[in-house]
Amino acid sequence: MTQTAQVYQDTKPSQTKLGALMSRWSFLSRVDWAIALALFAASLALYARTMAPGLLDGDEGEFQINIFRLGVSHTGYPLFFLLGKLFTILVPIGTMATRANLYSAFWGALTIAALYLFVQFLTQNRWVAVLSALLLTASRVEWSQAIIPRPYTLNSLFVILIPLFFFLWRIGKVDLTVPVFVFGLSLTNHRTIMWFGPAIAVFVLIADYQITFADQKPTGNLVAILRAWLARSTLFKPRRILALVVAFVAPLLLYSYIWWRGESDVGVEFHWKDFNAEILGGYVSASWRFGPPDWLVSRVTDLYIPMLIEQFTAVGFVAGLIGMAALALDRVPRGWSRALPAREVFLFILLANLANSAFCVIFWVIDIDKFFLASFITFLFFTAVGIAVVWDWLAAHWTRLVRGVAQAAIVVAFAAVVVFLVRQNYSTNDFSTRTDAINTWQENLAQPLEKNAIIVGSWESLTPLEYAMYVDGQRTDLQRWKVIIQKYQLGEVPYGSRQQDIEKAVRAGQPVYMTVYPKDTETLGALADEFRLTRVGELWRVLNLPPKATPPQSAPMTTFTDSEGRAIDLLGYTVYPSSTLHAGDFALATFFWRAPQSVSTRFTISLRLVDAQNRVIVQRDSEPASGLRPTVGWTSNEIVQDDEGFFAPPNAAPGTYRLQIVVYNSATVQNLTTPSGQIFTVGEVRIH
């Protein structure tokens, strides 16, 4: 029987009983599985401790929503969303956002366990396998993706599973359809894994050639050799090719998910015209950048290599170079399987690394580090081999006592590297206090925003609102207008900046709020030149009023003075639309201030609406002009317009209310005084 027949005979249906299945994994003992489980638990504890506690904005917020509602983000990620939905159902811990974050931590921890098992399979050295797993656990980029809901930790798992199953096929443990299926399945999570394709193709062809002619080397010219190979190999038989095609294509059918769930107003809507961009990833080419050879070299030397060293330190980098040389020279660790040719493994890992790295070098995005993850992990395979080779060299050339000390020193050295990485990366990757999005939108939605009010902002800033609407069922009446706020993105989506639509809505009297001040954008700055804006929570209300109001010409109403004699004059005020409101109405109080002398400190203006029982029913504290004109920047006798928006409470009883002002030092919170006291009543507001 030829070796080829033996390889494929091992995978006949009669051999798929439990005993035969376990025998295929005989290189792993119960101890190995226990260590893998312990590493999973430890890394999960680290990632869960540092992960974001809940709601996020941007991509992460979008992913949290679409895991819940099985939506489509970017180019789909069908496997990620389907498994995410299942995970959040089976693990009912905390909010939906928390579970989505934990979902990535879970895959991150499973990746660590898988790496241990893979390195143990290659080297049969538990110390090396543990150290390699810990290096990946503490590496900055892998850790950074395990604390937010993104598909990169699941992709990292596939980076390990793909070579593992192809190597298992090489030694006759599984049928080739198994790793081919795993590769196809990986493409339904994140398509950058496609860059493993060249490595897989070369590995399979070389392996099949070696297996086919193991008993007799071919002779003759190249054409004769190819004919003999095609005739003798089972790989090229029609039924075999059909089985492999089915194994590869079957998981890709998960992309039908995009047709099923593509009619979404969160993330990306899919239509047939988007097939090239969304299914084939054609949009990626828009971010490709090319340059002369010296530019490409600099991208490697100034970007990839420094980032690689950052992940595992210079010690891990040197160990990786040793591992590369060892495999290339066929100097394998002592526990290496004789059935697994070292140079074939070297070529597989090298090509996978180079192909992914080449893509990342020309892929021009701000967050390129996470796309390099596959390159980092494949290099870590070399690092593990390098550590194992040094370990075995010590065992072979030194006395037992010296060998034990030296090997212990290796463990201590790499353990110190892991500790260094944890200390170095902990503060960067500790998202446990990241509650900005939660706090911002809790404050925004606490405002009695008008029914069907329009909320305008970039898609990144609107994802927390979408979460509140879709997941929590809050304020589903609000309208969301996604806009482009950076010029370079114009044309990438059909809605653009929508400036004319916003202007039309404001002039029609519709309540319009923006998540960003127009002057802070590249596309909507003209709105601030045309309309009045004021802060409401963390939003900006756009009012159909000219930006500048006419200041009063009368004497000051009062003067606020602090303990050091610094003073500001209140010249006058107006209330828009009038001082008579209905409960729930939005009003704009415009104050006019002047500093007799320049002010060297920051004052906060506290606007208050007080009822007849002296209870404060509205209070709005901010620096003048919603923080745009702090007092520390005022010049002598300059008149400053201060627009302060507020809502008449929806449950306010009809009656007359006092509109009062308190001014205090922003740093010391010490109130300034007026001739009539610390609280100054500027007028009255009537609520019907």
Whether 537 and 658 map to the same domain: the answer is no
Q: Using 70 as the pLDDT threshold, list the residues of the chain that sit under it.
A: 1-27, 263-283
Whether 292 and 216 map to the same domain: the answer is yes
Residue 192, class by beta-carbon neighbours within 10 Å (0-12 exposed, 13-18 middle, 19+ buried)?
A: buried
Whether 329 and 239 map to the same domain: the answer is yes
Cis peptide before 333 (omega within 30 of 0): no
Residue 507 domain-assigned (yes or no): yes
pLDDT of residue 281: 65
pLDDT of residue 395: 81
Domain C-terminal end among 396, 429, 462: 429
If one counts every other C-beta atom within 10 angstroms of the C-beta of residue 375, the result is 25
pLDDT of residue 592: 97
For residues 190 and 157, what is the distance between their CA atoms, to the nearest angstrom? 11
pLDDT of residue 300: 93
Residue 549 domain-assigned (yes or no): no
Residue 631 domain-assigned (yes or no): yes
Nearest partner of 355 among 162, 169, 149, judged by Cα:
162
pLDDT of residue 403: 76
Residue 154 domain-assigned (yes or no): yes
Q: Check: CB of residue 70 under 8 Å from CB of residue 113.
A: no
Residue 548 domain-assigned (yes or no): no
Q: How many domains does the chain have?
A: 3
DSSP for 266-308, written as a single string = SB----GGGIIIIIS-GGGGGGB----HHHHHHHIIIIIHHHH
Whether 350 and 417 map to the same domain: the answer is yes
Residue 682 domain-assigned (yes or no): yes
Whether 580 and 510 map to the same domain: the answer is no
Whether 130 and 161 map to the same domain: the answer is yes
pLDDT of residue 23: 54
Q: Which residue has the tokens 């937010």?
A: 148
pLDDT of residue 24: 56
Distances (CA, A) of 187 to 3, 103, 291: 31, 19, 29
Domain around 600 = 558-687
Residue 476 domain-assigned (yes or no): yes
Domain C-terminal end among 477, 510, 543: 543
- Is this model's pTM higher than 0.85 or not? yes
What's 592's domain CATH number?
Answer: 2.60.40.770
Whether 49 and 182 map to the same domain: the answer is yes
For residues 242 and 233, what is the distance between their CA atoms, to the nearest angstrom? 15
Whether 98 and 168 map to the same domain: the answer is yes
Whether 219 and 323 map to the same domain: the answer is yes
Distances (CA, A) of 160 to 105, 167, 374, 414, 642: 17, 11, 9, 21, 59
Domain C-terminal end among 475, 508, 543: 543
Whether 191 and 262 map to the same domain: the answer is yes
Nearest partner of 588 among 636, 676, 659, 669, judged by Cα:
659
Structure tokens at 374: 């596959």
Residue 551 domain-assigned (yes or no): no
Whether 611 and 473 map to the same domain: the answer is no
Whether 306 and 262 map to the same domain: the answer is yes
pLDDT of residue 442: 94
pLDDT of residue 553: 86
Structure tokens at 95: 């909010």
pLDDT of residue 4: 36
Instruction: Give backbone dihedrals phi and psi of 398, rounded to 5 degrees, phi first.
Output: -115, 160
Residue 195 backbone class (left: φ over 0; alpha: ψ -120 to 50; beta: rest): alpha
pLDDT of residue 164: 97
